[in-house]
Amino acid sequence: MNEKKKILVTGALGQVGMELRELQAEYPEFDFRFTDYEDLDITDDRAVDAYVAAYRPDFIFNCAAYTAVDKAEEDVAKALAINSTGAGHLARAARDYGSTLFHISTDYVYDSGKNSPYIEGDPENPGGIYAITKLLGDRAVRLAAPGSIVFRTSWVYSAFGHNFVKTMRRLGRERPELRIVYDQIGSPTYARDLARAMLDVARQMASGVIDPDRAAGIYHFSNEGVASWYDFAKAIFEMEGITCRVVPILSAQYPTPARRPPFSLMDKSKFKETFGLEIPYWRDALSDCLRNIRKNES
Ligand SMILES: NC(=O)c1ccc[n+]([C@@H]2O[C@H](COP(=O)([O-])OP(=O)(O)OC[C@H]3O[C@@H](n4cnc5c(N)ncnc54)[C@H](OP(=O)(O)O)[C@@H]3O)[C@@H](O)[C@H]2O)c1
Please choose, from the candidates 160, 128, 137, the residue with its C-alpha nearest in 3D space to the C-alpha of residue 218: 137
CATH number of the CATH domain containing 47: 3.40.50.720
Would you tell me the crossing angle of helices 229-240 and 282-297 to the nearest 10 degrees?
50
Query: 90 CB under 6 A from ligand 1?
Result: no
Structural domain for 100, as ranges? 5-162+188-225+264-280
Q: Locate the ligand 1 atom nearest the alpha carbon of residue 152 and give its number.
A: 7
Which residue among 36, 136, 218 is best mutated to probe the pocket of ligand 1, counting the most ligand atoms within 8 A of its Cβ? Answer: 36
Q: Locate the ligand 1 atom nearest the alpha carbon of residue 13 and give its number.
A: 43
Name the 3-class secondary structure at 242. Answer: coil
Q: pLDDT tens-digit profile of 31-60?
A: 999 999 999 999 999 999 999 999 999 999
Tell whether the model's pLDDT for residue 1 goes beyond 90. Answer: no
Residue at 25 is within a domain: yes
Q: pLDDT tens-digit profile of 70-93?
A: 999 999 999 999 999 999 999 999
130 has catalytic annotation? yes
Q: Which residues of 164-192 are buried (b: 16+ CB within 10 A; e: fewer)?
A: bbbebbeebeeeeebebbbebbbbbbbbb
- Beta bridge partner(s), residue 152: 105, 220
Query: 15 CB under 6 A from ligand 1?
Result: yes
Nearest CA residue ID for atom 2, ligand 1: 156
Q: pLDDT tens-digit profile of 245-266?
A: 999 999 999 989 999 999 999 9
Centre of ligand 1 to C-alpha 186, Å, is: 20
Residue at 297 is within a domain: no
Residue at 129 is within a domain: yes
Query: 11 CB under 6 A from ligand 1?
Result: yes
Residue at 289 is within a domain: no
Q: What is the pLDDT of residue 97?
A: 98
Query: 16 CB under 6 A from ligand 1?
Result: yes
Tell whether the model's pLDDT for residue 2 goes beyond 80. Answer: no
Q: pLDDT tens-digit profile of 88-122?
A: 999 999 999 999 999 999 999 999 999 999 999 99
Q: pLDDT tens-digit profile of 4-34?
A: 999 999 999 999 999 999 999 999 999 999 9
Query: 63 CB under 6 A from ligand 1?
Result: yes
Return the percentage of the chain with pLDDT > 90, whole number.
Answer: 97
Nearest CA residue ID for atom 7, ligand 1: 106
Average pLDDT over residues 146-173: 97
Nearest CA residue ID for atom 21, ligand 1: 14
Q: pLDDT tens-digit profile of 264-285?
A: 999 999 999 999 999 999 999 9
Q: How confident is the model at residue 298 (pLDDT cuts 50, 70, 90)?
A: confident
Domain count, the chain: 1
Q: What is the pLDDT of residue 174?
A: 96
DSSP state of 118: B
Q: How confident is the model at residue 61 (pLDDT cuts 50, 70, 90)?
A: very high
DSSP state of 66: -
Query: Catalytic pick from 130, 182, 190, 219?
Result: 130
Contact 49, 42 (CB under 8 A): no
Residue at 256 is within a domain: no
Residue at 171 is within a domain: no
Q: What is the pLDDT of residue 28?
A: 97
Residue at 52 is within a domain: yes
pTM given for the model = 0.97
Which residue among 16, 42, 51, 67 is best mutated to probe the pocket of ligand 1, counting the most ligand atoms within 8 A of its Cβ? Answer: 67
Residue at 68 is within a domain: yes
Query: 232 CB under 6 A from ligand 1?
Result: no
